[in-house]
Chains A and B, each alone.
Chain A
């Protein structure tokens, strides 16, 4: 009976929540187009009078931002491939192959999710130092190729569980090996999970801050996260350029999300069933 007012209220609430979610982006976009003195104006304005597009080109040249972006892309690209590959393999074994110790392995995956990474920071640093990996990308990339994160394994395993077992059985009767079942039966169906892990591990590598901070000291090798930090520390005075760089740094993630939003929502849906 009171349906219409209810729907309007829901919409208003949703608009308020979305506005809140977009507020930092709106701030960054407007500030990045303002001349510097307008960013430091009191009271602040919510609009831009004359957009200063050259802020973006200035921001790219004050520091080698293009270089940072290229570095980040390289790290993320190599890391993402490793994460998708190795975590889907582990997820497949846990969901589809029967072997002794499967429950134990799954418990170990979950348990390793619970270990605070900070406990591991110092010994891992010593280990990578011992291997001579400081000032290389290996400490950022190799872990992705060794299991690719417990959460990704968990996500793949949960998604594989939703695929009917009969498919495997049929393939097995036809003489397919586990490897063929994995690569030609299961993985093609598991596209939402693959794309979700792809996006999540891309975001993870793209945003990684502590590890680059620990392992990289050469400015030329910095990923964008460290580059942004440089901007902030050396240039408290270039707020508008910092905001322009932030927008540039956020753009790839936003674009990828827009492109594969539907798949990601489906892929994440399975995580909602934790046990």
Chain B
């Protein structure tokens, strides 16, 4: 080996070792585990290969009664006869959360990035303030949010009540009765309101994508925009025909990364859960954690949940990539 080659190996060695030991082998291990019934306590020799049983019982493909009745698989799925109702709840909660929160975050960060790319004195301060929540998101802020959203003692509902009071006279003159008996949301203490609540908390940490969009907006060629203005294009036309095409690669990137992270959400779900929600915040990641690390330690089952999660993420992300030729604009061809 030449010295240069040896140095090259040294540069890549830590990452390479990590990739093999901490990613590749665990991935294979997880796949194998998901095909067993191991609970981590019994000896490996007593562990049984169960084939796809973990997956089938998660997805409810072999609910005994229906199999006996000879009901075909497709109609069993349609009838919603899941083997594991909590798994289905976790799956739908996670997907609903990701599908709403990620595009919402994209729209919000695009709008704020547009505001912040206007050259104004003080823009730097605002940019830093908008980015700050991204760094502060963690256990501490989640606990703060859970108090902020407290239906009685939190500020969010107090502000809503203030707004209600403000519009009270108008509502009275239009509908007769006032806003006094309008209910305020119970946020984290309701099976339905907990979902918008957690989306709100998630979108709050959108600062990173704002910065990415600001950088992208700066790369839009000025002359193009100026030429369009001279030709009489309005703001909407300029956005739609010039700015948006230049932003699409970044939109795709942010969508993919955001989706992958949203589908893995653990902290929000784990820390903000309570009984009143009736599993309204049960996510795949929390259900996986529960299955693996509390009795009866179904490690194989948990690994299967991990792979279904992976598959679901791929199903949400791959179409965007597959159709990227249709909507993502590549300026100047290849990189």
- A: residues with CB less than 8 A from B are 7, 10-11, 13-14, 17-18, 20-25, 27-28, 31, 39-44, 46, 86-87, 89-90, 92-93, 97, 99, 105, 108-109, 112-127, 143, 145-148, 153, 177-179, 182, 199, 203, 206-207, 209-210, 214, 224-225, 228-229, 232, 239, 242-243, 245-247, 249-250, 253-254, 257-258, 261, 265, 268-275
Q: Which residues of B contact A89 (CB under 8 A)?
A: 10-12, 14-15
Q: Which of B51-59, B73-81, B140-148, B190-198 contacts A (4 or more CB under 8 A)?
A: B140-148
Q: Which residues of B contact A40 (CB under 8 A)?
A: 153
Other than the given A90-B11, A99-B8, 5 more pairs (CB < 8 A) read A87-B15, A89-B15, A225-B140, A246-B140, A272-B212
Task: Give the total of B residues in contact with A, Cβ under 8 Å.
Answer: 93
Q: Are B139 and A228 in contact (CB under 8 A)?
A: yes
B224 an interface residue at 8 Å Cβ cutoff?
A: no
Cα-based distance from A157 to B18 in the complex (angstroms): 18
Q: Are A86 and B147 in contact (CB under 8 A)?
A: no
Q: Which residues of A contact B310 (CB under 8 A)?
A: 115-116, 119
Q: Which residues of A contact B256 (CB under 8 A)?
A: 114
- Given A118-B285, A239-B147, residue A177 in contact with residue B3 (CB < 8 A): yes
B239 an interface residue at 8 Å Cβ cutoff?
A: no
B30 an interface residue at 8 Å Cβ cutoff?
A: yes
Q: Are B139 and A182 in contact (CB under 8 A)?
A: no
Identity of the chain B residue whose Cβ is nearest the Cβ of A242 in the assembled complex? B143
Q: Are B155 and A265 in contact (CB under 8 A)?
A: no
B66 an interface residue at 8 Å Cβ cutoff?
A: no
Which residue from B23, B129, B132, B147 sits with its C-beta under 8 Å from A112? B23
Which residues of chain B (129-181) have a CB below 8 Å from chain A?
129-133, 135-141, 143-145, 147-148, 152-155, 158, 161
B313 an interface residue at 8 Å Cβ cutoff?
A: yes
Q: Which residues of A contact B141 (CB under 8 A)?
A: 24, 246, 250
- Given A243-B144, A243-B147, A272-B250, residue A119 in contact with residue B138 (CB < 8 A): no
Q: Are B140 and A250 in contact (CB under 8 A)?
A: yes
Cα-based distance from A93 to B14 in the complex (angstroms): 12
Cα-based distance from A225 to B137 in the complex (angstroms): 11
Q: Which residues of B contact A93 (CB under 8 A)?
A: 8, 11-12
Cα-based distance from A225 to B309 in the complex (angstroms): 26
B289 an interface residue at 8 Å Cβ cutoff?
A: yes
Identity of the chain B residue whose Cβ is nearest the Cβ of A262 in the assembled complex? B124
Q: Which residues of A contact B282 (CB under 8 A)?
A: none
Identity of the chain B residue whose Cβ is nearest the Cβ of A177 in the assembled complex? B7
- B: residues with CB less than 8 A from A are 3-5, 7-8, 10-12, 14-19, 21-23, 25-27, 29-30, 33, 40, 112, 115-116, 118, 120, 124, 126-133, 135-141, 143-145, 147-148, 152-155, 158, 161, 204, 207-208, 211-216, 219, 249-250, 253, 256-257, 260, 263-264, 266-267, 270-271, 284-285, 288-289, 292-293, 299, 302-303, 306-307, 309-310, 313, 335
Which residue from A17, A108, A253, A274 sits with its C-beta under 8 Å from B135? A253
Which label, helix, strand, loop or mixed, suits the secondary structure of the B interface? helix
B31 → A minimal CB distance (Å): 9
Q: Are B17 and A146 in contact (CB under 8 A)?
A: yes
B62 → A minimal CB distance (Å): 23
Identity of the chain A residue whose Cβ is nearest the Cβ of B263 in the assembled complex? A116
- Given A146-B17, A274-B253, residue A207 in contact with residue B138 (CB < 8 A): yes
Q: Are B30 and A123 in contact (CB under 8 A)?
A: yes
Cα-based distance from A117 to B263 in the complex (angstroms): 11
Cα-based distance from A93 to B133 in the complex (angstroms): 33
Cα-based distance from A7 to B271 in the complex (angstroms): 41
Cα-based distance from A143 to B207 in the complex (angstroms): 26
Q: Are B115 and A10 in contact (CB under 8 A)?
A: yes
Which 3 pairs, one residue from A and one from B, show the smallest C-beta to C-beta distance? A146-B18, A272-B215, A207-B138
B325 → A minimal CB distance (Å): 14
Q: Which residues of B contact A117 (CB under 8 A)?
A: 264
Q: Are A21 and B155 in contact (CB under 8 A)?
A: no
Cα-based distance from A43 to B152 in the complex (angstroms): 7
Q: List 17 A-B contacts (CB under 8 A).
A: A13-B115, A17-B112, A27-B144, A27-B148, A28-B144, A43-B161, A87-B15, A90-B15, A97-B11, A108-B19, A118-B306, A121-B302, A153-B15, A177-B3, A206-B138, A228-B143, A249-B140
Q: Which residues of A contact B271 (CB under 8 A)?
A: 209, 229, 232
